[in-house]
Each structure stands twice: as C-alpha cells, then as structure tokens.
Structure 1
C-alpha cells in the first residue's frame, strides 16, 4: 500500500480542520468513523472477507451443481419411467388382445359344443320317438295281422267246409276283408 498517499490525505484533512473548513459535529464524526472503518476493512480484512466470500461461492456452486445433477437424474428417471410405462401399456394391450382371441376361441368351442349337445339331445329324442313309433307300428301291425288272420281263417274255414272256391267268391271275400280292415 502507498503510505505517502495516506500521509498526504491525512495532512489535507488536518488543514481543513484547522481552517475550520470541516466542522466536527455528530454527522461529520459518523462520516469520519465510517471512512476509517472502510479503510481498515479494506486494508486489513480484505483477505479474510475475500476467503469467506470465495468459500461461500464454492458452497453455493457445489449446491447448485448437486441440484443440477439431481435434476438431470430426476429427469432421466422420469424419462425411463415413462418409457417403461409406455412399454407396460403396450404389453398389457397385447395381452388383452391375446386374451380376447383366446376367449373367442373358447366361446366358439362352447358354441360348437352346445350345438353338438343340442344335436345329440335332438337325435336321442328322435330315436326315442322313432323307437316308440316303431313299437306302435309293430303293435298295430300285430293287431291288424291277427284280426285279418282271424277273419281270413273264419271265412276260408267256412268256405272250406262247404268247399266253395269260386274266383268271384274269393274276390268278394278279399274286398270285404279290406273294407273290414279299413274300418278298424
């Protein structure tokens, strides 16, 4: 520091005081003490203040870098999370489409099974009906056959007693037996 400049400045102040150019009242004393304080701080405290401000600057810079890195990591995590979410949604859509196809296949098999079961039930009922009709037909045929047989035996037996075997009589007997058969 330049001591001659300080000496000249202090000499100038003493001259102003002696000539009463500067009057010492409370305002001037506060101003003078402020300048002395600033001078002492600049000369003797500037290194410690500078170190303190530099350390604060490093702390703030480190915090800023930390939060900047944290923000980058957070953004990268969010991007990865979004990608995973999109992938998951696509996979769920594929699974849903596959499930729909599987359900359609199962539904088609159930429809085919239902139709086949209905068809089998219908065929079984038709078989039962046909069997019942067949039994009725057999019963009716037996009934008519026995009645017709009895009728022919009685008529031919009567004719055999009298030994009348004329063609017209036979024809007449057959026609009457058919009429009798229609009436049954």
Structure 2
C-alpha cells in the first residue's frame, strides 16, 4: 500500500547511468597527472562538478532551471551518493547536514560560475578559481588545455540530442593532457 505513495522518478535510471558515466570518466589518471587537477578529495569533487555542468547545461533553460526532470534526478542521485559517502567515511548523523549544505552551496556556485563563464565571461578564470582553487599556482599551459577541453565538451553536449541524455547515454571528449 505504501509503495503507491512513493512515486518512482521516471528519470532515475537515466540519472544513475549519467552519474556512472561521469564517475568513470573523471577517474582517468590524465586529469590528475597531466591535467594538473589535484588528486585530492576536493580536486576530485571539483572535477565531478565540472563534468556535471557539461551534462546539466543542455538540460537547463535560459534561466538555469530544468527543461525536464532529468537534471533534478541527476542532482538527487549525486547528492544521495555524497550523503552515503559521508556516512561511510565516519561522519555522524549530526555532521551530515553541515557537510551536505557546504557541498550543495559549492554545486550551485560552480554551476552558476561555469554557466556565466560559458556565456561570455572568462572560463579560464572560473577554472582557476574552482577546479584549481586549492593550488597556489596553475601552469598557464595546463589551464589553457583544460579550457579547450571544457569548451569541446560544452560544444559536444550542446549538439547531443536530448533523447541521448534522457536515455542515460553520454560520452565526453578524451582528455589530452601531457604528463608534466
């Protein structure tokens, strides 16, 4: 009887597939070796958010809201996984909300910053501030390559039929970073 009260999100399966594809892609060592992304919890989180942006932007309307429920479903899947990860790392029930709020603020801030950068602002500045924000200095050549990588992915995602994303199908540009 209670199963009738709990509606299953029709996009949940697609959102899980998209999230799995993002996670698989960002585990490539080239991001951390030649791409200069810090191989830390923060660095990996920032790289995750950048790739989530690539997927969410085509799903957003001009105001940044969702065209359909897939964007919200992806957000829900990501943060359910983050919640589980925090619990598995030993953070107690009382500390979870504080950490989740901080991650959600970071998520919203990054989505806004990358969207603004994509539409005329400076993507390199957004990448320097966010993706490379924990580093004292960023190699300008690495930053330029990451900017090109981001631009290519944004273009590919914009050209991707919405039906592909709704089916949970996504593929990213292969990162081409030389090991420093």
TM-score scaled by length of structure 2? 0.21
Relative to its length, the structure with more helix (as a share) is: 1
TM-score scaled by length of structure 1? 0.21
Q: Which has the higher contact order (CA 8 A, sep 6+)?
A: 2
